[in-house]
């Protein structure tokens, strides 16, 4: 059920959650070289002084070991990507496919056949990156161990030297990606990441580390809530002018009570692409209903 809503104003605080990490060693199947790079990417000026999204890139097919849309040479023309969007070549966000797909803001996205319930990646994927010549990732930071209540990699004073973090990556100190740990971990670019021992199957967290992406300027909007979980579901999408004409570079979704969408136990989609946001479909839930009302906010460059 739609709600009356107005476009949020830019603020200097944020709560976001990004379940992606980096530096995981992969063996690419080598079945193909870069087959296609969207013409839009080639047309982008690499000397730009503002952030931009590349065009869609697709260098592999789901044969061999899987579909590896990773390690594109210099997708940002010398700067390091700050975010990534992964979808099928037909335009479906990877979360809609029900396949186990990895997304890494610095490398891209990949689907491993052996990790799928039916033993195969059934979709051909493509990626695009957010590039900002002014942006960069911090070094890894680790200030806590998983004793007491958990591991709290938060409270880093001014990690971006006055700028607002746009993205954050959390992994174990051994370099294991979050999706392989089996643990419930929170990530917030304004604070860091944290893991609560009481929420883990074995009662103890791994030791984690965090790094931030510091963009060359920008801010998070206020929270926006335009729909309720009735009818087909809760669709927090369709904010065409949320960044005053610019394309959002990140999105965060949580319940109106402040629970990150990844921790609700529901299947929720999140995509910073223009005019999207986050959505929960009743028919995709195990009990046939989205039990939370969600809200979103966007990072505007």
**Cβ atoms 107, 73 nearer than 8 A:** no
- Other beta carbons within 10 angstroms of residue 70's beta carbon come to 19
78 is written with which tokens? 């010398």
Domain end position, chosen among 192, 214, 236: 214
pLDDT tens per residue across span 217-272: 788 899 999 999 989 999 999 988 899 878 899 998 999 998 888 888 899 998 88
- What pLDDT does residue 13 have? 29
Looking at per-residue pLDDT, the higher value among 191 and 286 belongs to: 286
Same domain, 193 and 125: no
Same domain, 82 and 151: no
Using 50, 70 and 90 to split pLDDT, how confident is the model at 33? very low
pLDDT tens per residue across span 224-238: 999 999 899 999 999
Same domain, 225 and 278: yes
- What pLDDT does residue 14 have? 30
Indicate whether 114 pLDDT > 60: yes
Same domain, 199 and 236: no
Using 50, 70 and 90 to split pLDDT, how confident is the model at 25? very low
Q: Which of 180, 196, 187 is nearest to 17 (CA)?
A: 187
Using 50, 70 and 90 to split pLDDT, how confident is the model at 275? confident
Q: CA distances (Å), 184 to each of 59, 148, 199, 283, 290, in order?
A: 32, 17, 7, 24, 20
Q: Answer yes or no: is 115 within a domain.
A: yes
pLDDT tens per residue across span 151-196: 999 989 889 988 888 999 999 999 999 888 999 998 777 778 999 9
- What pLDDT does residue 1 have? 55
Average pLDDT, the chain: 83
Q: Which residues pair with 131 in a beta bridge?
A: 52
- What pLDDT does residue 187 have? 79
284 is written with which tokens? 């995709």
Q: Answer yes or no: is 203 within a domain.
A: yes
Same domain, 142 and 179: yes
Same domain, 41 and 99: yes
Same domain, 251 and 293: yes
Same domain, 253 and 204: no
Give the residue-averaged pLDDT of 123-130.
Answer: 97
Q: Answer yes or no: is 23 within a domain.
A: no
DSSP string, the chain: ------PPPEES------------------S-S--EE-HHHHHS-TT-SS-EEPPPEE---S-TTEEEEE--SSTTBTBPP-EEEEEETTS-BGGGGTS-EEEETTTEEEEEGGGSTTSS--S-EEEEEEE-TT-EEPPPB----S-TTEEEE---S-TTTTSPEEEEEEEETT--BGGGTT--EEEETTTEEEEEGGGSTTS-PPPEEEEEEE-SS-EEEPPB----SBTTEEEE---TTTTTTSPPSEEEEEETTS-BGGGSSS-EEE--STT--EEEEGGGSTTSS--S-EEEEEEE-
pLDDT tens per residue across span 77-112: 989 999 999 999 998 888 888 899 999 999 999 999
Q: Answer yes or no: is 6 within a domain.
A: no
Same domain, 145 and 170: yes
Indicate whether 212 pLDDT > 90: yes
- What pLDDT does residue 131 have? 94
- What pLDDT does residue 164 have? 82
Q: Answer yes or no: is 11 within a domain.
A: no
- What pLDDT does residue 295 have? 96
Please give the tally of structural domains in the chain.
Answer: 3
Indicate whether 290 pLDDT > 50: yes
Domain end position, chosen among 179, 214, 249: 214
Domain end position, chosen among 77, 112, 131: 131
Give the residue-averaged pLDDT of 22-43.
Answer: 37
Using 50, 70 and 90 to split pLDDT, how confident is the model at 49? low
Same domain, 122 and 143: no
Q: pTM (2 decimals)?
A: 0.75
Q: Answer yes or no: is 26 within a domain.
A: no
Sign of CA dihedral 230, 232, 236, 239: negative
Give the residue-averaged pLDDT of 198-226.
Answer: 93
Q: Answer yes or no: is 108 within a domain.
A: yes
Structural domain of 50: 36-131
Same domain, 141 and 185: yes
Same domain, 46 and 123: yes
Q: Answer yes or no: is 12 within a domain.
A: no
- What pLDDT does residue 31 have? 38
């Amino acid at each position: 059920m739609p709600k009356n809503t107005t476009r949020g104003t830019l603020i200097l605080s944020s709560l976001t959650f990004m379940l992606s990490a980096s530096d995981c060693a992969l063996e690419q199947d080598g079945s193909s070289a870069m087959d296609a790079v969207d013409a839009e990417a080639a047309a982008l000026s690499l000397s730009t002084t503002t952030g931009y999204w590349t065009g869609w890139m697709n260098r592999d097919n789901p044969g061999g070991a899987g579909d590896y849309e990773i390690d594109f040479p210099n997708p940002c023309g010398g700067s390091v990507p700050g975010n990534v969007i992964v979808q099928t070549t037909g335009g479906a966000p990877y979360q809609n496919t029900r396949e186990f797909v990895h997304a890494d803001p610095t490398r891209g996205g990949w689907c491993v056949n052996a990790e799928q319930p039916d033993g195969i990646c059934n979709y051909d994927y493509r990626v695009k990156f957010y590039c900002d010549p002014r942006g960069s990732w911090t070094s890894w930071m680790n200030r806590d161990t998983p004793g007491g209540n958990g591991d709290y990699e938060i409270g880093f004073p001014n990690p971006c030297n006055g700028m607002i973090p746009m993205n954050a990556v959390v992994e174990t100190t051994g370099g294991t990606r979050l999706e392989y740990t089996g643990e419930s971990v929170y990530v917030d670019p304004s604070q860091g990441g944290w893991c609560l021992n009481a929420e883990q199957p074995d009662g103890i967290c791994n030791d984690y580390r965090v790094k931030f992406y510091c963009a060359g300027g920008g801010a998070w909007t206020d929270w926006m809530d335009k729909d309720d979980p009735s009818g087909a579901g809760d669709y927090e999408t369709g904010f065409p002018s949320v960044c005053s004409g610019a394309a959002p570079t990140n999105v965060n979704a949580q319940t109106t009570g402040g629970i990150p969408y990844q921790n609700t136990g529901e299947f929720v989609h999140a995509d910073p692409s223009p005019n999207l946001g986050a959505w929960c479909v009743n028919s995709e839930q195990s009990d046939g209903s989205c039990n939370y009302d969600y809200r979103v906010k966007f990072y505007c460059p």
